[in-house]
Structure formats: C-alpha cells, structure tokens
Structure 1
C-alpha cells in the first residue's frame, strides 16, 4: 500500500510529455472591435469563447448571435478558413492545422459588431 502511494505521488509530479501538452486546450482571448484590450470602448463580456484543442479550434457561443461569419487567417498565408456559423448551435469546430504561425480568428456579426482573437504557434 505504501509503495502504491509513493508511485501515485511520483506520477503527480512527473513532467508531461509533448503529446500530453499538445492535447491541453489553449484559450484564445477574444476582444470586441478593432480596439485594444484596455480601450474603454470595449464594453461588457464577450459572448464567444475559443480554444485550440489539437487540430481544432472549439468555439462556444454564450448567447445566440445569429449567423456569424468566422474567418481564420495566418499572417503570411492569408485566409485559411472562412464559414458562416449558426451560433444557436452553441458549439462550432473550426479545422486548424496547428502549424507554426501568427493566426487571427475573426467573428463578424450581422449587426456589424466584430470580435477577434490572436493565436501564435
């Protein structure tokens, strides 16, 4: 029993492998509009949560925003994904290669409001 406890404790403090690390979700910070993060024009909570999980960007819509135009672009490649997503479905999966680069994901609402986030790999 003591040996089992020691092994369990040792496993808790081992360094995760690169595969384990790549499987952890990475949150993408989404902000409203073309403003900076500290700009007072950004008001209220952002109704979109996005995170990278392996080769997919998972998007959660906290409220029904209607049809949302989603654009994923990379600094040197330009637009690599573009689609209209129905936010009433609550979740959307965006295919993502996971290749190194500077990515921007933009959500354009029919009301003209724009949300975006940056991901550097």
Structure 2
C-alpha cells in the first residue's frame, strides 16, 4: 500500500539544470503532518512535489491585491516575482512577527 499524499504550502525558488536539484520552502506549522514529515525526511531523499499553488498570474491590466498569513508568503512571493512591470496592487500580510514581515519585504523592491 502506498502512503497517503500530503499537501502543504511550498514554493520552488531555484532550479539547477546542471545538477537536477531544486530548493523549495515549506511552511512548518506547529502541529500537523507536514512538520512531522520535515523532521523525518533526509537530505537527498526522493520526494514528490506537485503544484505549486498560485501558478496563475493576473494579467498586467489587473490589480494584484493579495491577502495572506505566514503560510501564504511563498505563493505571494512567487506571484510578485512573475508580475509584469507596472502592475499595481496591495498586499496584506497577517504574520506573528515584524521580522517575518521584513524578510518578505526584501523579496522584491517596487520600481
């Protein structure tokens, strides 16, 4: 019997074509299946990644008004990275600490 699949908020940040590796973030909640899994999985172990969420970018003429808590930061960052130049909008983040917000704010500077 195959183990049940798990879903979690995650986002691919870097793809390395030469060595067939990629880096991804998983938000580790205080409880649940994903935090347990992240403590058990070993470096180099084969895992299945599906998705990601947030893969549909708004057209340039739309406003990008985004709202999320800390679990949505990876997807919001991915959406920001793919927005067309000049796209307007707002983002509301509900995070437990100012440090987490500052880390997100450094991901993309607005022009």
TM-score of the superposition, structure 2-length normalised?
Answer: 0.24
Point out the structure with max Rg over C-alpha: 1
Structure having the higher strand fraction is 1
Structure having the higher helix fraction is 2
